[in-house]
């Protein structure tokens, strides 16, 4: 019989479940993405975001074409809400690997590590993040 310690989920599991839960807030019928930024010591949730429109904007895609939803990406929404005065190491958990523009924003925001659950056709973004010193891990499904 497993002990209580063996039954406790890892922090990766907890944060990724939270990112998936947050993604359910998205109005995008094609791809729901969630992101959460936490301190590396797992003591604080700093921000969260999901893909969606600007505040007060219509809750619908601009286009059904891939990559042209017009929605602000989950990573950017989380970065916009993050407290930049917290000087602890920061980890972003995201349901899908970030696009190249989100990777650039993540680098500029000082995120130390990105953990993602699904690779989403953005091979170059992972390379960009690692070349900039951001640790990247797959914690997938």
Pull the structure tokens for residue 97. Answer: 């690997």
Helix pair 123-131, 100-109: axis angle to 10 deg: 20
Pull the structure tokens for residue 96. Answer: 């899908």
Place of tokens 């995120």: 111
- Number of neighbours of residue 68 by Cβ within 10 angstroms: 10
Residue ranges of E strands in 53-105? 90-96
Q: 128: helix, coil or strand?
A: helix
Distance separating alpha carbons of residues 64 and 51, to the nearest angstrom: 15
Q: Is 75 labeled as catalytic in the residue annotation?
A: yes
Catalytic residue among 75, 113, 123, 141: 75
Among all residues, which ones are annotated catalytic? 75
């Amino acid at each position: 019989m497993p002990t209580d310690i063996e039954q406790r989920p890892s922090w990766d599991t907890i944060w990724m479940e939270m990112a998936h839960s947050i993604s359910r807030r998205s109005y995008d019928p094609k791809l729901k993405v969630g992101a959460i930024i936490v301190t590396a010591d797992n003591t604080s949730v700093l921000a969260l975001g999901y893909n969606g429109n600007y505040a007060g904007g219509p809750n619908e895609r601009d286009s059904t074409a891939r990559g042209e939803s017009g929605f602000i990406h989950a990573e950017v929404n989380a970065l916009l809400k993050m407290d930049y005065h917290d000087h602890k190491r920061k980890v972003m958990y995201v349901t899908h690997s970030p696009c190249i523009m989100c990777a650039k924003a993540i680098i500029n925001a000082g995120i130390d590590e990105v953990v993602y659950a699904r690779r989403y056709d953005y091979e170059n973004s992972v390379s960009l993040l690692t070349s900039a010193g951001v640790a990247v891990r797959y914690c997938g499904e």
